[in-house]
Amino acid sequence: MTYVADLHLHSSYAMATSKELNFENLARWAGIKGIDLLASADFTHPMWFDETKARLHETGDGLLKLRDSPDSSVRFVLGTEVNCNGQQGGRNRRVHMLVFAPSLDVAERINASCSRHGILTGDGRPTLHLTPRELLELLLEIDERNFVIPAHVWTPWFGIYGSKSGFDSLEECFGDLADRVYAIETGLSSDPAMNWGVSELNDRSIVSFSDAHSLPKMGRELTVFDGEPSYDGLLRSLKNQGIAYTVEFFPEEGKYHNSGHRKCGVSLTPAEVGEVGDRCPVCARLMTHGVAYRMAALTSREVKTWTDEDGFTRGEPARPPFKSLVGLQQIIAESLGRGVNTKGVMDRYLDIVGEFGGELATLLEAPPSDLTRTAGQRIAEGIGRVRRGDVSIEPGYDGKFGRVSVWPDE
Ligand SMILES: [Zn+2]
Ligand SMILES: [Zn+2]
């Protein structure tokens, strides 16, 4: 059985997030997007945790559902993100970790322990003065079924493989507990194929989630799990790469794909860095090394990849495939020549996804003739281009998002 999951989300209590991120809206937008399982987000925050207990009820399989909407089929798993800030190997490390718990009672105990290592009442994504290994040890002592997923592993500042404060391997980071880490999150700046060359990831799951800070961004990356939709089923899928496929950004679109220096407008590929070195060719300061550069440093083998007839990228030896997509709101905005956040685009978006049973089904499965009839020639053509990967991309660098265009010449 497959189910669609977005397990990296935030509440309105996390820094720089939308006020509209409450449970009712999360569930409503899960329906619009076509997502079955969401992270409950930010359970370390006392006020959001109170809301979690008031709004959700446990369904006996380690997951939760909305209390007041018996018709809603959306399920939640208790999941949060923390910033581990600790000394290891003589350096200060800052690494974001997704944390999951099998019950409200266990989450409560995690919160009590974590409150001794950091302030939980501020940011919904709290800073804990623990290394990732210390965090994992603390979690496993509370309950063996707790697990972590290192978040957006390649981002320079907060990724476990990041160039600024990360590690060279999960082994280096977690030591004797490394085999209790079953999965990593690619983040927006990398896709699974880029990770397939890292040998310690061979027998680990590579998952993708949205890290959305507002409702429309939910599901912009997601994972379709193959297995039983329960807490234990999810954990089993992560252990065994029980993944049907993931949906990805085009990795160049992420904020840290290339190396570079934003102030000077300098953006370089790994090969170009090889020629000019680590310093910005304009101002001579150290550049921020992006995901592509860092990944080239940690990749140990060539991976053969190809695109199958359905537009999924596959690799050898076999791994769960993935598909790179552009959000439907962006396709509509470009098709109509309107801003992505305008009411006209949103109205059109809701009409179209309502017709096809959610955004994911619209982008992946809707037949072209039906799309043309419902969405019009131009939007249907835009979706067709995205399905074929026929888009143009300007890579992101040093905190600046990349740009994907469906109609680059217009
Ligand atoms: Zn993060
Ligand atoms: Zn510069």
pLDDT of residue 318: 86
* Confidence grade of residue 146 (pLDDT, cut at 50, 70, 90): very high
pLDDT digits (tens, 9 = 90+) for 232-246: 999 999 999 999 999
Question: Residue type for 365, please?
Answer: E
Could you say which ligand is closest to the alpha carbon of residue 264? 2
Asked if 35 contacts 6 with a C-beta cutoff of 8 angstroms, the reply is yes
Could you say which ligand is closest to the alpha carbon of residue 209? 1
pLDDT surpasses 80 at 410:
no
pLDDT of residue 71: 81
pLDDT of residue 165: 86
Mean pLDDT over residues 66-78, rounded?
A: 91
pLDDT of residue 310: 86
pLDDT of residue 210: 97
pLDDT of residue 394: 93
For residue 316, report the distance from its CA to the centre of ligand 1, in Å.
30
Nearest to 32 by CA among 64, 67, 4: 4
pLDDT surpasses 80 at 409:
no
* Three-class HEC string of 290-355: CHHHHHHHHCCCCCEEEECCCCCEEEECCCCCEEECCCHHHHHHHHHCCCCCCHHHHHHHHHHHHH
Percent above pLDDT 70 for the chain:
100
Could you say which ligand is closest to the alpha carbon of residue 17? 1
pLDDT surpasses 80 at 396:
yes
For residue 191, report the distance from its CA to the centre of ligand 2, in Å.
28
Nearest to 363 by CA among 371, 184, 3, 201: 371
pLDDT surpasses 80 at 32:
yes
Nearest to 72 by CA among 113, 21, 100, 30: 30
* Alpha carbons 172 and 156: distance in angstroms, whole number: 17
pLDDT of residue 19: 85
Assign 74 to helix, strand or coil. Answer: coil
Mean pLDDT over residues 381-395, rounded?
A: 93
pLDDT of residue 316: 80
pLDDT of residue 116: 97
Assign 66 to helix, strand or coil. Answer: strand
pTM above 0.85, yes or no: yes
Could you say which ligand is closest to the alpha carbon of residue 268? 2
Least confident of 12-16, 87-91, 145-149: 12-16
Beta-bridge partner residues of 226? 2
For residue 189, report the distance from its CA to the centre of ligand 1, in Å.
13
* Alpha carbons 277 and 285: distance in angstroms, whole number: 11
For residue 259, report the distance from its CA to the centre of ligand 2, in Å.
11
Could you say which ligand is closest to the alpha carbon of residue 265? 2
pLDDT digits (tens, 9 = 90+) for 102-111: 999 999 999 9
For residue 96, report the distance from its CA to the centre of ligand 1, in Å.
5
Pick the CATH number of 2-252 from 3.40.50.2000, 3.20.140.10, 3.40.630.30, 3.20.20.140: 3.20.20.140
Percent above pLDDT 90 for the chain:
85
Is residue 150 packed enough to be buried (19+ CB in 10 Å), middle (13-18) or exposed (0-12)? Answer: buried
Could you say which ligand is closest to the alpha carbon of residue 8? 1
Strands 147-150 and 183-185: unpaired
Could you say which ligand is closest to the alpha carbon of residue 154? 1
pLDDT of residue 276: 93
For residue 159, report the distance from its CA to the centre of ligand 1, in Å.
8
* Alpha carbons 380 and 374: distance in angstroms, whole number: 9
* Confidence grade of residue 144 (pLDDT, cut at 50, 70, 90): very high
Nearest-5° Cα angle at 144, 58 to 13: 50
For residue 386, report the distance from its CA to the centre of ligand 1, in Å.
27
pLDDT of residue 274: 92
* Alpha carbons 369 and 206: distance in angstroms, whole number: 34
* Cβ neighbours of residue 90 closer than 8 Å, sequence gap 6 or more: none
pLDDT digits (tens, 9 = 90+) for 189-230: 899 999 999 999 999 999 999 999 999 999 999 999 999 999
* Alpha carbons 189 and 211: distance in angstroms, whole number: 12
* 299, two tokens: 């990749």
Q: Residue length, the chain?
A: 410
Average pLDDT of the residues of the chain: 94
Nearest to 85 by CA among 156, 166, 153: 166
pLDDT of residue 302: 81
Could you say which ligand is closest to the alpha carbon of residue 157? 1
* Confidence grade of residue 13 (pLDDT, cut at 50, 70, 90): confident
For residue 290, report the distance from its CA to the centre of ligand 1, in Å.
16
For residue 375, report the distance from its CA to the centre of ligand 1, in Å.
35
For residue 189, report the distance from its CA to the centre of ligand 2, in Å.
22
* Confidence grade of residue 309 (pLDDT, cut at 50, 70, 90): confident
For residue 281, report the distance from its CA to the centre of ligand 2, in Å.
7
Residue predicted with more confidence, 112 or 304: 112
- Domain edges within the chain: 2-252, 327-390
CA torsion through residues 73, 323, 166, 184, sign: positive
Could you say which ligand is closest to the alpha carbon of residue 261? 2
pLDDT of residue 260: 95
For residue 249, report the distance from its CA to the centre of ligand 2, in Å.
27
pLDDT digits (tens, 9 = 90+) for 310-358: 889 999 888 999 999 999 999 999 999 999 999 999 999 999 999 999 9
